[in-house]
Amino acid sequence: MSTYLTIFTQKLAPFLKKPHALNGIGRGVERETLRITSDGRLSSKPHPSALGSALTHQWVTTDFAEQLLEFITPVSYSVPEMMHQLHDIHRFTYRALDDDLLWPFSMPCSIEKEEDITLAQYGSSNVGQMKTLYRKGLKQRYGSVMQIISGVHFNFSFSDVFWEALLGPQTSEQRQASRSEAYFGLIRNYYRFGWLIPYLFGASPALCASFIKKTTTQLDFKEAGKETFYLPYATSLRLSDFGYTSLEQSRLKIGFNNLDEYLEGVRSAIETPSEHFSRIPLRDASGFLQLNANILQIENELYAPIRPKRVTKRGEKPSEALARAGVEYIEVRSLDVNPFSPVGLDENQVYFLDLFLTWCVLSDSDQMTHDELGCWRENWKHVVLEGRKPGLELQIGCHGEQLTLQAWGKRVFADLAQLAVLMDEAQGGDHYQAVCRELVTWFDFSERTFSARCLEKIISGLGIRELGIALATDYHEQFIKEDYQVCSEALFLEETKVSFQRQKDIEQSDVIHFEAYLKDYFSS
């Protein structure tokens, strides 16, 4: 136990004298949401042209399907500013949707047949066709329903001043290596302790009946009305085997001890043929069915609760960017859509993530074997399926020692409380300490967690569909009435116009046919 929850005073010491070094956190949000009709069914309309080009718009795009919107905020160094940006993107979008609404949950509902899910379209350019073909491959491999499960991705980076305080003076080459090493230490601790996120913020304790009917399970699901099934203590079924998971990928041996080990694992996955996916033809009479038959078609297919990232240059693959200049930021991918926020995320969640991710990088983070990683993943599995179960015990590594979720959570929060004092001193105010004081009580009062609050409303008689429609309608009325906060209607209209021109320029710049483009892409 002491190996992982040691007091992190030594690494915190430089910030006692320089708390301002804890400022300058870079943040960005990617929020996914389905377009639905007023009666809760999947919209049949294509991506609205009033939202610009899904290929090139900076802030509004699509993910797997035409109906699955994705909102992307610019990098911001202020929590309120980032949240204002996210609200403004929603305001602009709602004004362009006519009578469509935005589904407020991660897990979809009322999907009558997979054919109703339309693959996202990105135009005639080679890069646009490849994006659609990649999604066609996902459909062949996992089915369309799984691919329209929504989430919130949180991008996070530390400032140069932070690294200077933590690591001391270094050459640029040394700093690049040390920063990557520190980010991988953060990632390992995220696997060890990140179950806190689905416990606190998991918001998918229930499923639409369509998910259960297609699956043989020994889990004791309860029924809430004719359309809804739930597990009494579940937190995030989105992160379970009923959600966004892949049995094929569960066998991968991708390590997180350093950048080279990680890149070697990813490259192996995108170069190794899959016996299972090889049964899917690469093409039929209608054309290509998937990009290739490897375990991963491309790196984006890797399902992970957290990823090391770097902004890519044009034509550069994610792994190539990481190999070129190391880790620049991390992407947290284990957040359910928060149905109690009109934008799927609230400020308190962001303040907690600031604290938790900073604690992860400042705390001890031993090297991790694949067996140990498997033990931590088992903890995540227990939390997503029964995280609110009284007395639930989690493993501490692979040595047989166990501790209750409540006791372990409180130990982490004791460290977070120390850090919160410094972060509030650096920024002014009481945001971080207030979040700590509130969330630590959720270990004794699990009914305050998002999943418990969702379940209370669902089983009280509303069910998923009715609750989703009610929330979506309320949020629609709210956004239509509100004014922009940091952006403007003119700014969004200009971006929409320019995005179409960018797409046109890309299409006109293509000089080779699509098959030759694919061959060049994978041969490189």
Distance CA 105, CA 211 (A): 15
Q: What is the mean pLDDT of residues 444-456?
A: 97
pLDDT at 216: 61
- pLDDT surpasses 60 at 436: yes
- pLDDT surpasses 90 at 3: no
Residues 417/420/425/429 CA torsion (nearest 10 deg) = -110
Quickly list DSSP for 464-509. HHHHHHHHHHHHHHHHHHPPPSSS-HHHHHHHHHHHHHHHHHHHHH
Q: Between 501 and 215, name the one with better pLDDT.
A: 501
DSSP E strand boundaries for 349-455:
393-395, 402-404
Cβ atoms of residues 336 and 202 within 8 Å? yes
DSSP E strand boundaries for 256-383:
283-284, 287-288, 306-309, 329-335
pLDDT at 373: 93
How far is Cα of residue 86 from the mean position of the Cα atoms in its chain? 15
User: What domains sit in the chain, N to C, each tagged with a CATH number?
Assistant: 9-523 (3.30.590.20)
Q: What is the mean pLDDT of residues 416-429?
A: 95
Distance CA 61, CA 193 (A): 32
pLDDT bin (cut points 50, 70, 90) of residue 5 is low
Distance CA 422, CA 143 (A): 47
pLDDT at 7: 60
Q: H or E stretch including 155? A: strand 152-157
Distance CA 374, CA 59 (A): 36
Going from the C-alpha of 305 to that of each of 119, 168, 239, 266, 308, the distances in angstroms are 24, 30, 9, 15, 11
Q: What is the mean pLDDT of residues 220-232?
A: 86
pLDDT at 2: 47
- pLDDT surpasses 60 at 230: yes
Distance CA 98, CA 197 (A): 35
The letter for the amino acid at 86 is: L
Which of 8-12, 72-76, 84-88, 212-216 bottoms out in mean pLDDT, i.e. has the lowest?
212-216
Cβ atoms of residues 520 and 512 within 8 Å? yes
Listed as own residue / partner, the contacts of 90-93 with beta carbons closer than 8 Å and 24 or more positions apart are 90/342, 90/343, 90/475, 90/479, 91/479, 91/482, 91/484, 92/51, 92/60, 92/484, 92/487, 92/489, 92/492, 93/51, 93/60, 93/69
Structure confidence by residue, pLDDT tens digits, 153-182: 999 999 999 999 999 999 999 999 999 999
Cβ atoms of residues 60 and 29 within 8 Å? no
Structure confidence by residue, pLDDT tens digits, 129-148: 999 999 999 999 999 999 99
pLDDT at 133: 98
Q: How many CA atoms lie within 13 A of 158 on its CB side?
A: 28
Distance CA 333, CA 306 (A): 5
122 token code pair: 């990105």
Distance CA 444, CA 137 (A): 45
- pLDDT surpasses 80 at 509: yes
Global pTM value: 0.96
The share of the chain scoring above pLDDT 90, in percent, equals 84
Q: What is the mean pLDDT of residues 433-443?
A: 98
Looking at residue 337, the DSSP 8-state letter turns out to be P
Structure confidence by residue, pLDDT tens digits, 358-374: 999 999 999 999 999 99
Structure confidence by residue, pLDDT tens digits, 283-318: 999 899 999 999 999 999 999 999 999 999 988 999
195 token code pair: 């179950």
Chain-wide mean pLDDT for the chain? 93
- pLDDT surpasses 90 at 213: no
pLDDT bin (cut points 50, 70, 90) of residue 4 is low
Cβ atoms of residues 330 and 182 within 8 Å? no
Q: What is the mean pLDDT of residues 93-115?
A: 91
Beta-bridge partner residues of 287: 284
Distance CA 304, CA 318 (A): 15
Q: Is 30 helix (H, G, I), strand (E, B) or coil?
A: strand
Distance CA 482, CA 108 (A): 27
